[in-house]
Chain A
Amino acid sequence: MVATSDGGHWIQMRRILPAFEGLDVCYVGVSPEPDADMSAARYYCVRNATRRNPHWFAVIVWQLVRIVLKERPDVVVTTGAGPGLMALAVGKALVRSRTLWIDSVANSERLSLSGWLARPIADVHLVQWPHLARPNGPEYWGAVF
């Protein structure tokens, strides 16, 4: 399962999709419609929530619980932000999904708030700038460009 917010987060996610070629992938986003090349049957829309409208996080968790129980993803991957963090947490808690957090490449000087919160629930926690990697902390495997 790939669960990612809109805008730059989604655009970064698109650039890593070739990694999942041939695998059974479903998508969770905050836009009402999937991209033209995505199967509508494998796309789920959740509410968007940010630190400006945090009350929506409760709604997202409920939406994600239903999606995760239906899909039972082996793996949950996100490029951020808030909704992606929630997807890792719900996948981990309900079906013990393996979780991958990829912090946005837009965070070049410090980890994002959602990235920091993702630390305890991400099996692999990546940053996209080598100087942000730390021993026993976030790893650097490369970047979306």
Chain B
Amino acid sequence: MDAWAAAVDGEEVLAQIGQGSYEPRNMTWMRNLPRSQYSDTVARADLVIAHAGIGSLIVAGEYGKPIVVLPRRARYGEHNNDHQVDTAARLGAWRGVYVADTEAQLGRCIAQARCSSADVEALEKTAPAGFLDRIRLFATGEKTAP
């Protein structure tokens, strides 16, 4: 991503790098953005590039932003298991989600996401009403429908 950031002109690139040991030279970076700052940043962004964490996908969706994801893989020690590969496979069909299966595909996915200027329809900010209703019935102790 740092090499990509060096090559793109006139774009502001902001990186949240977590505990990574590599410190970017061509991007503004921080370890962790507090939650509210993270969502404000996504709201201002044109494009989000992330691993296939469900939080990244949901927040990008809530702000109607295109997102490129490179799933974390257990074989590289990036996560406990390959559930991000599964998430990417399931949510790759969402409008505005671009899945890079390998690092080599990243550049092409980013290019695609940047040219497709089609608006991504924003996800509702809350769960669907039917799901909320059943959870509420459980919480209030009323009998739930079978």
Smallest CB–CB gap between B128 and chain A, Å? 6
Residues of chain B within 8 A (CB-CB) of A11 are 54-55, 58-59
A19 & B141 in contact (Cβ 8 Å cutoff)? no
Q: Which B-chain residue is minimally distant from A7 (CB atoms)? A: B55
Size of the chain B interface, CB-CB below 8 angstroms: 34
The verdict on A96 contacting chain B, using a C-beta distance below 8 Å, is no
B83 & A145 in contact (Cβ 8 Å cutoff)? no
Q: Which A-chain residue is minimally distant from B132 (CB atoms)? A: A19
Q: How far is the CA of A29 from the CA of B84 in the complex (A)?
A: 23
Q: How far is the CA of A102 from the CA of B54 in the complex (A)?
A: 14
Assuming the contacts A8-B55, A15-B125, asked whether A145 and B61 have C-beta atoms less than 8 A apart, the reply is yes
B54 & A8 in contact (Cβ 8 Å cutoff)? yes
**Given A12, A16, A18, which contacts B54 in the complex, CB threshold below 8 Å?**
A12
**Given A18, A35, A77, A108, which contacts B87 in the complex, CB threshold below 8 Å?**
A108
A33 & B53 in contact (Cβ 8 Å cutoff)? no
In residues 91-134 of chain A, which contact B (Cβ within 8 Å)? Answer: 98, 100, 102, 104-109, 112-113, 124, 129
A20 & B58 in contact (Cβ 8 Å cutoff)? no
In residues 100-146 of chain B, which contact A (Cβ within 8 Å)? Answer: 123-128, 130-136, 138-141
Q: Mark B30-41, 1 if CB is under 8 A from A, else 0.
A: 000011100000
Q: How far is the CA of A36 from the CA of B134 in the complex (A)?
A: 27
**Given A15, A102, A108, A142, which contacts B58 in the complex, CB threshold below 8 Å?**
A15
Besides the known contacts A15-B127, A18-B132, A20-B135, 9 further A-B residue pairs in the complex with CB atoms under 8 A apart:
A11-B55, A12-B55, A19-B132, A19-B133, A74-B141, A77-B135, A108-B83, A129-B90, A142-B130
Residues of A within 8 A of B (CB): 7-12, 15-20, 23, 31, 33, 35-36, 51, 74-75, 77, 98, 100, 102, 104-109, 112-113, 124, 129, 141-145
Residues of B within 8 A of A (CB): 34-36, 53-56, 58-59, 61, 80, 83-84, 86-87, 89-90, 123-128, 130-136, 138-141
